[in-house]
Chains A and B, each alone.
Chain A
Amino acid sequence: MNNFFKHRLGLHFKEMTRYLKYVFNDFFVIALMFFIGALGLVYSNFLKEVVGGLWWEKVVIILVLVIALQICGMAALIKQPDKVFIAPKEYEFGSYLKSSFYYSLTLAFLFEALVVFILMPFVSISLHWNGIQIIELFCLILILKWLILKNNWANFYLDFPKSIFEKVIVNLIIPAIVLIVTLYVNLSVGIALALFFSILLQLALNRLANLLDWKYLIDNEERRMANIYRFFSLFQDVPEVKPKVKRRRWASPLLKSVKTIHNNTFTKLYLLTFIRDGEISSLYFRLIIIGFLVIVFVKNNVLSLCIYDLFIYLVGFQLIPFYKIFDDNVFVHIYPISEKTRMYNFRIVVRTMLSIEILVLTIGMLISGTSIQFIGFALIVGLFEIYCLTGPYLKSKFEN
């Protein structure tokens, strides 16, 4: 089981490095360096103004530390099929989870060390603490992290009384109490209190039988990985992130405005899919928001017109391939509806979406102070562009 964990960890590292390679591409690293530099500058300027002994300083320290304790949970590295394939070896699974616990603890220690390191100058100025006291504070954080992770681990067993209260108490309330005692009463009392809670938890855990709660284990791990994948998906396509279908009730007036008649079948289908499919709508909204912001801040007429047209083209060009989105659904082919009607319906939907975009971009131009005459000109060019994209271009692409 120990080797099995090592194998899993190897696979996990491989996957993470593959994604990290994309995250830390050249441009991002440069941007990150500037960002860290800027943050460092802001922080050092902020430190110059800290005098110490003010009421909010302790509150900030407690808040930062409690939040930092929530990051880096138990990485069990469990996969869905384990429920079937590993279940016969469940009695040996304790050693696997032990390895994953120590792995998670190591990661968490590194992270907490970084947080304490960053917080160090602030703590030493505001509380007038010396190096030894800060090391003691770090030890206290480690004890609290051990407590939280141990509790995470205990949650994996069936007879552990899981509840949201238990999580809030262990993850938030106990660390907050311990840190309040530490900062307002005495550091040693705080450490003693943290140790007391840890011993209490350990005693409770000793009484647990070893039956695993597979559903919780897998759900927990999937949630954890989903968070990681979501972060990576900001930089690239992650196949593991499947955009969820969202009902989006706010769009129902728009949907209701489409009459439920035979000739509107595909108008409704495309519209429903565009609105509810996470991928298409987020692409659409992202492009419109970026376009809007750029146009608001660009003061040059010609440049702003180019951006205006570029964003209409970009959105239109991204939407048009969705004509084929239902093609692997056999029903689309057996409906008694002609291809011509389908294209007509699709055209209406894309034109509606592009018209909304034009409206938003035009408002952007108004805000940036462009003259009404020029906006009128831009509008005509934009509408012509929509006509070209949804007319001849669409036809040439899909009509055979």
Chain B
Amino acid sequence: MSLKVNKLTGGYSSIPVLKNETFDVKDGELVSLIGLNGSGKSTTINHIMGLMTPFSGTITVNGIQITDNIEKYKQQIAYIPEMPILYNELTLREHIETTIMAYNLDSDDAWKRAQKLLKIFRLDNKLDWFPSNFSKGMRQKVMIVCAFITDAKLFVIDEPFLGLDPLAVNDLLQLINEKKHEGASILMSTHVLDTAEKYCDRFVLINDGSISYEGSMNEIKQHFNDLGHSLNEIYLALAKKDDNHE
């Protein structure tokens, strides 16, 4: 079992944003976190990345908690943030080198993987460019390349499709699929429900910091059979229902 979030309660100050969340992502599984803006998706991700400390509850990646061994825990995770974050002073080549150094990867193997990815995303002739010359989409592609050259066991991808062209979205989904087959777990947060429905194995619906439902597409359809046939329809109906309650 790759990622296991158990009774996680956490937040930014003393007021908890996340309330008693429990879910998991198994080996070779793509799980999507789905929720409205401000529902707690990013906060959940920040806790998993070890950027925030839980108030209570545990997060384990392949049985290791961050408190057991920080370096070993972080070594297992690769992250693609919602907004691309790059070092202004580093070229694309140096970004890849930094990732290789930071994750202690074998340089030759990692560069082989990088070359393949760079070619896919048409960045192979831009290795000596600085981030200031990149468009938003290109920056996002750099993040994808840097994450996918690692041999992480868990990939955390925050809203991956924004700013990518349709070709790149397709390539990214293919990469995710390859990693899945290699046995990695992928946790993704997204608002693009149509794509998520087609590709994800399971869904974790977050509402107001707690998990309202967790299951595969079939389970969701059965559970909410009166609300609609697609994830989009069901989710919209759920969100509107919650809105009326408040």
B55 within 8 A of A: no
Question: Contact between B71 and A338 (Cβ–Cβ < 8 Å)?
Answer: yes
- B50→A262 contact, CB < 8 A: no
Closest chain A CB from B36 CB (angstroms): 23
Contact across chains for B89 and A272 when beta carbons are under 8 A apart: yes
**Are the CB atoms of B102 and A272 closer together than 8 Å?**
no
Stretch at the interface among B10-18, B80-88, B198-206: B80-88
CB pair B81–A330 under 8 Å, yes or no, is: yes
Interchain CB contact (< 8 A) of A334 among B50, B91, B98, B101: B50
Q: B97 near A260 (CB under 8 angstroms)?
A: yes
CA distance A260 to B90 in the complex (A): 14
A269 to B97 CA separation, bound complex (whole angstroms): 10
Docked CA distance A337–B97 (Å):
15
Question: With contacts A260-B107, A265-B101, A272-B89 known, what are 15 further pairs, Cβ within 8 A?
Answer: A262-B101, A268-B98, A272-B90, A330-B51, A330-B79, A330-B85, A331-B79, A333-B49, A334-B74, A334-B77, A335-B74, A336-B74, A336-B75, A336-B104, A337-B71
A245 to B71 Cα, complex, angstroms:
32
Known pairs A262-B102, A330-B79, A333-B51; A269 contacts B87 (CB<8 A): yes
Instruction: Judge if B130 is at the interface, Cβ distance under 8 Å.
Output: yes
Q: Is B70 close to A, CB under 8 A? A: yes
Hey, which chain B residues are within 8 Å of A336, CB to CB?
Answer: 70-75, 102-104
Most buried by B among A260, A330, A331, A337: A331
Q: A163 interface residue, CB < 8 Å from B?
A: no
Rounded to whole Å, the gap between the CB of A333 and the closest CB of chain B is: 6
User: Contact between A260 and B71 (Cβ–Cβ < 8 Å)?
Assistant: no
Measured between beta carbons, the chain A residues less than 8 angstroms from B89 are 245, 272-273, 275-277
When distances are taken between beta carbons in the complex, the residues of chain B under 8 Å from A303 are: none
Known: A329-B87, A334-B77, A334-B79. A268 touches B101 (CB 8 A): yes
Mask: chain B, 89-120; 1 = CB below 8 Å from A; 0 = not:
11100100110111110010000000000000
* Residues of B with C-beta under 8 A to A330: 49, 51, 79, 81, 85
Which residues of chain A from 159 to 193 have a CB within 8 Å of any chain B CB?
none
B132 at the interface (CB under 8 A from A): yes
Contact of A261 (CB < 8 Å), options: B85, B98, B101: B101
Q: Which residues of B contact A275 (CB under 8 A)?
A: 89
Task: Provide the residues of chain B in CB contact with A260, threshold 8 Å.
Answer: 97, 100-101, 107
Chosen A-B contacts, 15 in total, with CB atoms closer than 8 Å, are A245-B88, A247-B91, A265-B98, A265-B102, A268-B94, A268-B97, A272-B87, A272-B94, A330-B49, A330-B79, A333-B51, A334-B50, A334-B77, A336-B71, A336-B73
- Distance of A326 Cα from B98 Cα, bound (Å): 13
Q: Which of B6-58 contact A (CB under 8 A)?
A: 49-51
User: In the complex the two chains form, what is the Cα distance from A245 to B94 in whole Å?
Assistant: 14
Contact A329 B85 (CB under 8 A): yes
A261–B100 CA distance with the chains assembled, in angstroms: 8
A149 to B72 Cα, complex, angstroms = 66
Bound complex: CA A261 to CA B103 (Å) = 10
Contacts of A262 in B (CB 8 A): 101-104
Known pairs A277-B89, A334-B77; A245 contacts B130 (CB<8 A): yes
Using A245-B132, A335-B102 as known contacts, say yes or no to A273 and B87 having CB atoms under 8 A apart.
Answer: yes
A268 to B93, CA, bound (A): 13
Pair A335/B103 contact, Cβ less than 8 Å = yes
> A355 within 8 Å of B by Cβ?
no
Q: Does A264 contact B (CB under 8 A)?
A: yes
In the complex, A272 Cα to B107 Cα: how many Å?
A: 19
Residues of chain A contacted by B100 (CB below 8 angstroms): 260
Contacts of A326 in B (CB 8 A): 87
Cα distance A334–B97 in the bound complex, in angstroms: 16
- Name the A residues within 8 Å of B50 (CB-CB): 333-334
Is there contact, CB below 8 Å, between A331 and B85? yes
Q: Within A238-261, which residues are at the interface with B (CB < 8 Å)? A: 245, 247, 260-261
Cα A334 to Cα B158 in complex, Å, equals 15
> In the complex, A93 Cα to B111 Cα: how many Å?
54
Nearest CB on B from A282, distance (A)? 14
Nearest CB of A to B25, in Å? 17
In the assembled complex, which residues on chain B have CB atoms less than 8 Å from the CB atom of A329?
A: 85, 87
B90 neighbours in A (Cβ, 8 Å) = 269, 272
* Chain A CB within 10 A, most for which of B49, B50, B72, B101: B101
Chain B window 157-177, contacts with chain A (Cβ cutoff 8 Å), 1 for yes, 0 for no: 000000000000000000000
Q: Considering the chains assembled together, what is the distance between the CA atoms of A133 and B88 in angstroms?
A: 57
B51 partner residues in chain A, CB cutoff 8 A: 330, 333-334
Determine the distance from Cα of A105 to Cα of B170 in the docked complex, in whole angstroms: 57
Name the residue of chain A whose CB is nearest to the CB of B107.
Answer: A260
User: Which residues of A are found within 8 Å of B75, using beta-carbon distances?
Assistant: 336
**A276: chain B residues within 8 A (beta carbon):** 89
Cβ–Cβ < 8 Å partners of A277 in chain B = 88-89
Nearest-neighbour CB distance to chain A for B149, whole angstroms, equals 14
Nearest neighbor of A271 in chain B, beta-carbon distance: B89
Q: How far is B94's CA from A276's CA once the two chains are assembled, in angstroms?
A: 13
For B94, the chain A residues whose CB sits under 8 A away are 268, 272
Cβ contacts A305-334/B at 8 Å (1 or 0 each): 000000000000000000000100111011
Shortest CB-to-CB span from A256 to chain B, Å, is 11
Residues in B with CB closer than 8 Å to A264 are 101
Minimum C-beta distance from B139 to chain A (A): 13
How far is it, in angstroms, between the C-alpha of A335 and the C-alpha of B76 when the chains are bound?
Answer: 10
CA gap between A278 and B85 in the complex, in Å: 20
Is A269's CB under 8 angstroms from B98's CB?
yes
Which residue on A lies nearest to B75, using beta carbons?
A336
